[in-house]
Amino acid sequence: MKGFQDLIFSLQQYWGGYGCAVLQPYDMEVGAGTFSPNTFLKALGKNSWKAAYVQPSRRPADGRYGENPNRVQKHHQFQVVIKPSPKDIQDIYIKSLETVGIDNKLHDIRFIEDDWESPTLGAAGLGWEVWCDGMEITQFTYFQQVGGIQCNPITVELTYGLERLAMFLQSVDNVYDLNWNGKEGKEKISYGDICKQQEIEFSKYSFEYANVDKLKQHFSDAENECKNLALSGLVLPAYDQCIKASHLFNLMDSRGALSIAERVERIARVRALAKACCEAQIKNYE
Amino acid sequence: MSNFLLELLVEEIPSRLQAESIQELEKLFVNEFDRLKIPYRNVNSFISPRRMVFSSDLELKSTAYQEEKKGPQINAPIEVIEKFLLAHHISRNDCVEKTIDKKTFLFAKIDHNAQETSHLLVDIIKKAITNIPWKKSMRWGSYSMYFVRPIRNILAIFNEKTINFCLDEIGVKSSNYTVGHRFLSPEKIYIKNLGDYKYKIKKSFVIIDREERRNIIENEIKSIEKTYNLQIDTPLDLMEEVVGLSEYPIVLMGKIPDNFMKLPEEVIITPMKVHQRYFPVRNNEGKLAPYFVFVTNNKAYDNGKVIIEGNERVLNARLSDALFFFETDLKKPLEHHLESLKKIEFYESLGSLYERTQRMIDFCIFAYNELKKSNSWIKPEMKDLLVRTATLAKCDLSTNIVSEFTELQGIMGACYAQIQKESPLVCNAIKEQYKQGEEFSTAFSALFSLIDKIEIITSLFAIGKEPTGSKDPFALRRAAISIIKIIKKYNIKIDLITFIKQALSKLPINNYSKETEQRIINFIKERLKVLLKNENIDPDIINSLLQNYDNILLIYQKAEFLNSVLQTEIGQRLIICYKRAKNIIGHNKDIMINQLLISEKEEISLYNEINKLDSIIKNIELSTDDIKIKFEKELNALLSIEKFISIFFEKILVNTENLEIKQNRLNLLTKIVHLFHKVLPIN
């Protein structure tokens, strides 16, 4: 696996071959692949679903001005969702690791208990972090609840942390040294070439420059829009506004603009939006 | 008997749930065998991350037996009786009548024939699988059943034949095969019985027995220790967890680059243990050595070279994070973090940690002023030290390291305080603030922790977060026990009520109920009661002391001293005297003694002794502030009068014909009882 992009290609190839619809990233700022409607809303209802996609994921508070070798405010997840969860999903997953070059006769792959919960999404699941030689490379979750609603059937979600996995495969200790395009010498394009500037500038933005009053205003706007749209049964547009509110909340948080009480209160407000969207979605299914 | 074997192949079962769940499964089977009268022996159960195994030898048939089932009363409505008969497929003639508590009931005699064990087993297995009580369980696929993780195969064999059934709730059909280790032997293995299973599963790289896995790990660790002349820390809980994380444990050792070894020990150890499940390594002097030991689940063909490199890289990344955090934290003095505490919630309506810090600073000054009055070891310089400790105590909660590893709270605070050259007393007190029990490195640490705990208990009670039943999320019971133990061990004279009142008055809330103070005192006294009971102190003494006093130290000291005195012969006699006097005086309250009415020799000497005792007790009262010494003196004085009371009872008749003399004698005894009550809190 020479380049970061090759890792993505082979995962897309593999899961596409398995029968997943290989989607493009959702075109909004999300905190994780789970936020994409292609996971979150699809986990509701009876319909089967198989999809795989890369999701650039933003966590403003993780910004380190491009100085930390392991932490970035925007990282890439490779997300696989399958509903209902197939009975041989662990084996299928392990084969995907072989495809990207992890020889399981040479490495130590383990499933370590890790239950997942998202207070902003009102979602919870049980599963593991998958370790390869002590490094967490995937979050493996059976969704139990989404937007406060019990899932049935159950969706399984596999989230590969692409930076970590690539660092592991390329034996690189600094994320910015990752080879992106797989070429060597002059033709090589590194992760740093592509992402370092955004790490520096967005760290400044989310810790120093973001206009808090504007963020709060946008938050309220998104909130109102979401509620109205959900009432009109326009689930996807409503949910976009929920995603927006969640990201605005993250920015306010990283900006250090929230008192304790306000933080708790805003999380509850985003959760209420997520719930409204889920309920509207269920109504649509009926 | 024939062998029964069941193996559930499950996706990785959380380690912490393994030991308990397999016991539950075993219990469920054994209970059913008993209930259905299937003779059994050689019960075995095993658990690994992917397997739950149960086996026992069973008779081919269950034992026939007759069951008596209680039915309705004989005079019950006919429909009720018919329903009962119908339910058990019997007629009225199959029933007997029995009278219980004057009511006559029908009892059905139900014959249970011997049944084929192989037929019974299907239901037994299904019931056992579905009834394991999991702390946390889940659904998967399109199925409705809950289990800890998805079950992927059921191996079920009796008498070398497959027990055929389908567990429809999860869509799994039973079989006579399983698979070996996930990577080392993933092929199907066909099984005949337990012996066959044990042999083949081991050959397939699965150590099915938890204890055997533990032994393997422990032995490999010992051999590493010997080879490299090192010592490996194997805390029990970490070992327990690791035993449940691998089906084929192999122990490996990795190296830590030297530049990380300058970090405080805890900062190196915590990510190793908590995040990576690695065992720390020490040299023979007990100093942390630049290695780590870990358990893998795979026998790699390069003998683990790649696995070691990978794990080293992960730990390096974590330690460079830690080093970065550590160095960033050191860039500003600890008290500069106070500002960030405004953003960290203490608890609900109790405000931020910053506000709580301010309250603690005030409370420490209050505590100092109160305690110095009666505790001579509290020196003037302690005031500033207490304030300094309170100021810095929570600052580490907003440092980078503690944000990353919350379990290092206190420890990092002390470490940073030490680096910025705070007084060692302050550093230790920061480190030990969360400590329970009474073992502190200095009395000053204990004192600070005591003040902190009183404030916490008071705050949480004020917002109604006191422990109920088995729920004690803030470990307030332990905190209360610690308060008592500190007071006792360091001999701290403290009036808790004043402290609680003071703490309450400074809270940002005022809607707490009026009885809060008393509820807190009672809560602490409840713990004290348990502690005293554990010291084998007479329950009567405990109760009366708890009823009469709020002062923990006094109660403790009186209880222990009293208990020791009352176990002596003279102590016992003293109690007898008291009881006799108390019985005779009845409701008499008068203690005016007319000297002229005293005539008998024994009466006179008792009267003199009483007067002496009265003034001795008054003098003791003024002589010392030390309640313990005071109490010992009082009790000794009381003991000295015992022989005079005994002689009085022997020689003098209280109930004489002369009513005046009788009353005077009663008053004399009442006076004695009064003196008793001054010293001893008995009823």
In this structure, the answer to whether residues B12 and B148 fall within a common structural domain is yes
DSSP 8-state class, residue B294: E
Is B419 within 8 Å of B478 (Cβ atoms)? Answer: no
Of B255, B234, B248, which Cα lies nearest the Cα of B305? B255
Q: Does A260 score more than 70 pLDDT?
A: no
Question: So what's the pLDDT on residue B592?
Answer: 87
Concatenate the DSSP letters of all residues of A143-168 into one string.
EEEETTEE-SSPPEEEEEEHHHHHHH
- B339 in A contact zone (CB under 8 Å): no
| CA distance, residue B468 to nearest chain A CA (Å) | 26
Q: Which of B175, B203, B231 is the last residue of a domain?
A: B203
Which residues sit opposite B161 in a β-bridge?
Answer: B158
Indicate the pTM of the whole model: 0.80
Residue B555 within any structural domain of the chain: no
| CA distance, residue B527 to nearest chain A CA (Å) | 34
Say yes or no for a CB contact (<8 Å) between B313 and A106. no
Say yes or no for a CB contact (<8 Å) between B311 and A90. no
| CA distance, residue A53 to nearest chain B CA (Å) | 21
In this structure, the answer to whether residues B405 and B467 fall within a common structural domain is yes
A contact test, residue of B134, B272, B314 with most A CBs within 10 A:
B314
Residue type, B45: S
Residues of A with a Cβ under 8 Å from any B Cβ are 68-71, 84-88, 90, 94, 104-113, 115, 125-126, 128, 132-135, 142, 144, 151-154, 156, 168, 171, 173, 256, 258-261
How far is it, in rounded angstroms, from Cα B42 to Cα B61?
17
| B586 burial type by CB count under 10 A (0-12 exposed, 13-18 middle, 19+ buried) | exposed
Q: Which of B274, B308, B330 is the last residue of a domain?
A: B330
Higher-pLDDT residue of A42 and B599 is: A42
| CA distance, residue A66 to nearest chain B CA (Å) | 14
Q: Strand, coil or helix: what is B332?
A: coil
Question: So what's the pLDDT on residue A1?
Answer: 66
Q: Does A49 score more than 90 pLDDT?
A: yes
Q: Interface pTM (ipTM) of the complex? A: 0.95
Which chain A residues are within 8 Å of B317, Cβ to Cβ? 69-70, 173
How far is it, in rounded angstroms, from Cα B485 to Cα B487?
5
Q: Which of residues 261-280 of B touch A (CB under 8 A)?
A: 276
Q: What's the alpha-carbon Rg for chain B, to the nearest Å? A: 36
Type and span of the H or E element at B380: none
- B245 in A contact zone (CB under 8 Å): yes
| Residue A284's pLDDT band (cuts 50, 70, 90) | confident
Residue of A nearest to B346 (CA): A260
In this structure, the answer to whether residues B167 and B245 fall within a common structural domain is no
Which domain covers residue B15, as residue numbers? 2-62+116-203
DSSP 8-state class, residue A26: P
How far is it, in rounded angstroms, from Cα B605 to Cα A223?
92
How far is it, in rounded angstroms, from Cα B512 to Cα B510?
6
| Residue A262's pLDDT band (cuts 50, 70, 90) | confident
Residue of A nearest to B275 (CA): A134
In this structure, the answer to whether residues B70 and B57 fall within a common structural domain is no
Most distant CA pair in chain A, distance = 58
Q: Which of B203, B224, B255 is the last residue of a domain?
A: B203
How far is it, in rounded angstroms, from Cα B210 to Cα B246?
10
Q: Strand, coil or helix: what is B614?
A: helix
Higher-pLDDT residue of A199 and B659 is: A199
- B313 in A contact zone (CB under 8 Å): yes
How far is it, in rounded angstroms, from Cα B265 to Cα B271?
11
| B506 burial type by CB count under 10 A (0-12 exposed, 13-18 middle, 19+ buried) | middle
Kindly state the tokens that stand for B346: 């203490």
Residue of A nearest to B276 (CA): A134
Higher-pLDDT residue of B569 and A134 is: A134
Q: Which residues of chain B have pLDDT under 70?
A: 625-627, 681-683
How far is it, in rounded angstroms, from Cα B488 to Cα B482?
10
Q: Which of residues 158-217 of B touch A (CB under 8 A)?
A: 171, 182-184
What mean pLDDT is predicted for residues A50-74? 94
Is B251 within 8 Å of B293 (Cβ atoms)? Answer: yes
What mean pLDDT is predicted for residues A135-157? 95
Which chain A residues are within 8 Å of B14, Cβ to Cβ? 113
| Domain spans in chain A, listed from the N-terminal domain onward | 4-205, 211-285
Which chain B residues are within 8 Å of A142, Cβ to Cβ? 138-140, 150
Say yes or no for a CB contact (<8 Å) between A134 and B12. no
Say yes or no for a CB contact (<8 Å) between B306 and A133. yes
| CA distance, residue B542 to nearest chain A CA (Å) | 45
What mean pLDDT is predicted for residues A155-166? 97
At a CB cut-off of 8 Å and minimum separation 6, what does B29 contact? B43, B54, B56, B124, B128
At a CB cut-off of 8 Å and minimum separation 6, what does A80 contact? A15, A20, A51, A52, A157, A158, A159, A160
How far is it, in rounded angstroms, from Cα A32 to Cα A158?
12
Say yes or no for a CB contact (<8 Å) between A110 and B297. yes
Say yes or no for a CB contact (<8 Å) between A109 and B140. no
Residue B547 within any structural domain of the chain: no
Residue B437 within any structural domain of the chain: yes
How far is it, in rounded angstroms, from Cα A276 to Cα B77?
55
- B12 in A contact zone (CB under 8 Å): yes
How far is it, in rounded angstroms, from Cα B678 to Cα B509?
41
Q: Strand, coil or helix: what is B286?
A: coil
In this structure, the answer to whether residues B107 and B127 fall within a common structural domain is no
In this structure, the answer to whether residues B309 and B394 fall within a common structural domain is no
How far is it, in rounded angstroms, from Cα A273 to Cα A120?
9
For A4-205, CATH number out of 3.30.470.30, 1.20.810.10, 3.40.50.2000, 3.30.930.10 equals 3.30.930.10
Question: How many C-beta atoms surround the C-beta of residue B567 within 10 A?
Answer: 10
Say yes or no for a CB contact (<8 Å) between A110 and B294. no
Q: Provide the phi-psi class of A193: left if phi over 0, else alpha when psi is between -120 and 50, else beta.
A: alpha
In this structure, the answer to whether residues B292 and B175 fall within a common structural domain is no
Kindly state the tokens that stand for B381: 């310089």
- B258 in A contact zone (CB under 8 Å): no
Tally of structural domains, chain B: 5
Q: Where are the alpha helices (DSSP H) in B246-304?
A: 265-270
Say yes or no for a CB contact (<8 Å) between B149 and A173. no
In this structure, the answer to whether residues B48 and B99 fall within a common structural domain is no
B contact test, residue of A108, A109, A142, A265 with most B CBs within 10 A:
A108
Question: So what's the pLDDT on residue B120?
Answer: 95
In this structure, the answer to whether residues B286 and B369 fall within a common structural domain is no
Residue B540 within any structural domain of the chain: no
Q: Strand, coil or helix: what is B343?
A: coil
Kindly state the tokens that stand for B247: 């089906």
A-to-B residue pairs, Cβ atoms closer than 8 angstroms? 118
In this structure, the answer to whether residues B53 and B168 fall within a common structural domain is yes
Q: What tens digit of pLDDT does each residue of A162-182 get? A: 999 999 999 998 999 999 999
Is A51 within 8 Å of A80 (Cβ atoms)? Answer: yes
In this structure, the answer to whether residues B517 and B644 fall within a common structural domain is no
Say yes or no for a CB contact (<8 Å) between B315 and A132. no
Fold designation for A211-285? Methane Monooxygenase Hydroxylase; Chain G, domain 1 (1.20.58)
Question: So what's the pLDDT on residue B540?
Answer: 77
What mean pLDDT is predicted for residues A126-142? 96
Question: So what's the pLDDT on residue B542?
Answer: 86
- Mean residue pLDDT of chain A comes to 94
Question: So what's the pLDDT on residue B114?
Answer: 93
Of B180, B259, B257, B253, which Cα lies nearest the Cα of B220? B253
At a CB cut-off of 8 Å and minimum separation 6, what does B642 contact? B570, B573, B574, B577
The partner residue sitting opposite A85, judged by closest CB among B140, B245, B297, is B140
- A74-83 and A156-161: which strand pairing? antiparallel
Question: How many C-beta atoms surround the C-beta of residue B356 within 10 A?
Answer: 26
| B61 burial type by CB count under 10 A (0-12 exposed, 13-18 middle, 19+ buried) | middle
Question: So what's the pLDDT on residue B625?
Answer: 66
The partner residue sitting opposite A134, judged by closest CB among B149, B302, B310, is B310
CATH number, position B476: 1.10.3210
Say yes or no for a CB contact (<8 Å) between A113 and B297. no
Is A94 within 8 Å of A66 (Cβ atoms)? Answer: no
| B31 burial type by CB count under 10 A (0-12 exposed, 13-18 middle, 19+ buried) | middle
Which chain A residues are within 8 Å of B296, Cβ to Cβ? 108
CATH number, position B671: 1.10.730
How far is it, in rounded angstroms, from Cα A202 to Cα A68?
14
What mean pLDDT is predicted for residues A12-40? 97
The partner residue sitting opposite B314, judged by closest CB among A110, A115, A134, is A134
Is B400 within 8 Å of B328 (Cβ atoms)? Answer: yes
Q: Strand, coil or helix: what is B530?
A: helix
Say yes or no for a CB contact (<8 Å) between A107 and B306. yes
B contact test, residue of A113, A168, A252 with most B CBs within 10 A:
A113
Residue B617 within any structural domain of the chain: yes
How far is it, in rounded angstroms, from Cα B44 to Cα B14?
21
How far is it, in rounded angstroms, from Cα B574 to Cα B572?
5
Q: Does A41 score more than 80 pLDDT?
A: yes
Say yes or no for a CB contact (<8 Å) between A85 and B141. yes
Residue of A nearest to B319 (CA): A70
What mean pLDDT is predicted for residues A88-110? 96
Is B480 within 8 Å of B527 (Cβ atoms)? Answer: yes
DSSP 8-state class, residue B373: H
How far is it, in rounded angstroms, from Cα B203 to Cα B183?
13
Say yes or no for a CB contact (<8 Å) between B245 and A112. yes
| CA distance, residue B246 to nearest chain A CA (Å) | 8
Q: Provide the phi-psi class of B492: left if phi over 0, else alpha when psi is between -120 and 50, else beta.
A: beta
Residue B545 within any structural domain of the chain: no
Is A235 within 8 Å of A284 (Cβ atoms)? Answer: yes
Kindly state the tokens that stand for A2: 């020479």
Is B15 within 8 Å of B68 (Cβ atoms)? Answer: no
The partner residue sitting opposite A256, judged by closest CB among B136, B306, B343, is B343
User: How distant, in Å, are the alpha carbons of A208, B128, B163 from that of B123?
Assistant: 65, 8, 11
Say yes or no for a CB contact (<8 Å) between B317 and A70. yes
Say yes or no for a CB contact (<8 Å) between B343 and A260. yes
Type and span of the H or E element at B57: strand B51-58
Q: What tens digit of pLDDT does each residue of B214-247 get? A: 999 999 999 999 999 999 999 999 999 999 999 9
In this structure, the answer to whether residues B451 and B502 fall within a common structural domain is yes
The partner residue sitting opposite A153, judged by closest CB among B12, B16, B141, is B141
